[in-house]
Structure 1
């Protein structure tokens, strides 16, 4: 079974109680029930997803049909014995109950179980303008972040809308907050979110505003439940390197495009000639030789001058000159995903032959485990998580940001 051993646990909704014995590989020779196929697609700052095909013995069926039961997939590196929790999250639904014709090793057949990782809970919460008040008793128009450290802002968003600091009915049972680690000292962000903002979108927005590689967020399985964590991407650019000449890139897509805007003219909610107008300029694009290209940004939802600037800068980033690449890299004995470089780490990639090595993020991985092929791990690295994870979802998020600017206070 390759170099790794995969083991599946099923827990209760809070992640505090294990509902089954550890589930290993199904063995038709010894008639041992277990998993016969695992597919995992973890993603950076996104809710990944997975699918498990497992023996439909009564004790497994009972566990997977428990409301909000969770899967925890542990991956053990056989040579070193190092263990990593590769995936954890709620079961969405057993598919078609079970199929007794698929597997005759134990006479019970198999069941396919679909799941998402625990970050999906951030997609199940809205950002309340005042998280201390019920949705029907709001007296604030927006949730405002004014010159706050991005790590602090992300912990506050999660804690007040999902964690122990939320209203009792909104708390995710079993979730705790990790302690802050003083990430990005001296950096502050400002933003505001209307009541239709999804928590996961707000967290990504704060991460983006932090600049550079931003910050990552995750909900991880611990020995006592689940924990929300904010982390700074680990800088492994000096030790984890990918290029075609090195033979560790399977597939690579590289694209450069001209800007559609280098100057943003931003307007607030004031009507007529008294409307406050700000101009934001992409000086980097102009210094590189790109000519002036103007765009108007309607930011009538902005609460202050800082948010006007932010709306303009956001438009310039989206419409500025772009150099994007994505690569599916090859896992080698010297560089193993999850052990030598984790999800969200910064690594070095040569995007085209003879070109410079640049920093990229580990944006995800596609992992398949079967009896005949063992494990097949395809890590994904690149510069644009939106393009890699879900391009359609990325466009929808951009539309929502535009609508939010136009709506102002709902």
Structure 2
């Protein structure tokens, strides 16, 4: 096995480690920032380890340095054979990371009450740190503080690091827990994940680091194989926030944000806060936050894909992680910095691990407009001005 190859261990339904897979032919691991990652693995069907790979068991995937790249349940075990296959064919194992556990739960408006006693229409978060709010939502809806019938006995919470700014918001009744956490985390520029630690699944919140001074990729440096970027137009440039109107007077306010590629484009979007009592002392804060989230979620998006090469002085997992900020030199020689949204670790036991990173785009970032999108807009304007000068 190559020294950089990923190590794969199998766990049973109780999270106990029951064996190691050291004869896989290929393995793709895709950690993602603030959403569910995935893995696929191919292995000969006649492998002596094949009986371990069944639905209900899971994988713990570690880097060559011993860090956990991902852990999660096996969802699919598919068999196939072609004329060129040796032996009895191959198995393709698919699964998701343990962060997917959060998608199985909703946010109850009154988490301490039975389902027949849900009298509130929202769950309110008032002036707490973003991490504290996220931990509370996980705890009372799925973790140790949840109702017995809802509690996941394998789920624990890491210590509260008080990451992120102070937030005030309302969570609509039965909103998906994972989606709600992603909204809070992306707005606060903090990350979260669920990963196996010992015999439990631990919910962790972390503050990504700015590695742009260290993690720098360019063709000139020889550590970049390819790069490309794409853009997606905005869906909202004006948020129309409406509060009250049921048991209290209606209050309406608009929030505007100019798109850098289409500065004259106006796209209005209704933001429903009619469940909020307009006599609330934090009405303005709730409306401001709802407007900002709608504009961020509806902003034009850019996606940058780079294929960096791990070199002794710069490696994924050691020098940068998903969620960290890195730098890449692109069109025109300009250095661009943004968040690593996704990484694909493609590994074979013989050739080791190759890394492809997706930077920017994806879920909305904490910036007013995703920085990659602003960067691409500026590049296109600069190119247009250059063409105009040549034409003249």
Same fold? TM cut 0.5: yes
Q: Distance in 2 between matches of 1:288 and 1:44?
A: 26
Equivalent position of 1:326 in the other structure: 304
CA drift at 1:171? 2.4
What SS does the corresponding residue of 2:289 show, helix, strand or coil? helix
Equivalent position of 2:68 in the other structure: 85
CA drift at 1:376? 4.5
Select which of 29, 36, 46 maps to 2:35: 46
RMSD between aligned residues = 3.2
Equivalent position of 1:126 in the other structure: 106
Select which of 153, 158, 162 maps to 2:142: 162
Query: Is 2:239–2:271's contact at 8 Å kept on the other side of the alignment?
Result: no
Q: Distance in 1 between matches of 2:137 and 2:46?
A: 41
What SS does the corresponding residue of 2:135 show, helix, strand or coil? helix
Report matched runs for 1:106-185 at 5 Å: 109-184=89-164
Say if 2:309 is the partner of 1:310: no
CA drift at 1:217? 0.5
Select which of 6, 19, 25 maps to 1:36: 25
Equivalent position of 2:331 in the other structure: 352
CA drift at 1:319? 4.8
CA drift at 1:53? 1.8
Q: Distance in 1 between matches of 2:139 and 2:232?
A: 40
Any idea what the Cα deviations from partners look like across 1:95-116, whole Å, max 9, x if unmatched?
14x7598865xx6654221111
Q: Distance in 2 between matches of 1:339 and 1:297?
A: 44
Select which of 267, 271, 275 maps to 2:250: 275
CA drift at 1:255? 5.5
Equivalent position of 1:70 in the other structure: 58
- Gap regions ≥5 residues in structure 2: 277-282, 366-392
Query: Is 1:72–1:89's contact at 8 Å kept on the other side of the alignment?
Result: yes
Any idea what the Cα deviations from partners look like across 1:151-177, whole Å, max 9, x if unmatched?
101111111222212222322232211
Aligned length: 356
Select which of 297, 310, 326 maps to 2:270: 297
Question: Residues 209 and 365 of structure 1: is their aligned pair in 2 closer, same or farther, counting only changes over 3 Å?
Answer: closer
Any idea what the Cα deviations from partners look like across 1:376-408, whole Å, max 9, x if unmatched?
4233142222399xxxxxxxxxxxxxxxxxxxx
Any idea what the Cα deviations from partners look like across 1:238-260, whole Å, max 9, x if unmatched?
11112343233333334578877
Question: Residues 100 and 376 of structure 1: is their aligned pair in 2 closer, same or farther, counting only changes over 3 Å?
Answer: same
Query: Is 2:31–2:37's contact at 8 Å kept on the other side of the alignment?
Result: yes
Question: Residues 147 and 62 of structure 1: is their aligned pair in 2 closer, same or farther, counting only changes over 3 Å?
Answer: same
Any idea what the Cα deviations from partners look like across 1:209-238, whole Å, max 9, x if unmatched?
32xxx1111112223332110000022121
Any idea what the Cα deviations from partners look like across 1:280-306, whole Å, max 9, x if unmatched?
344xx5999956947353424452443
- Gap regions ≥5 residues in structure 1: 25-33, 77-81, 389-410
Equivalent position of 2:167 in the other structure: 189
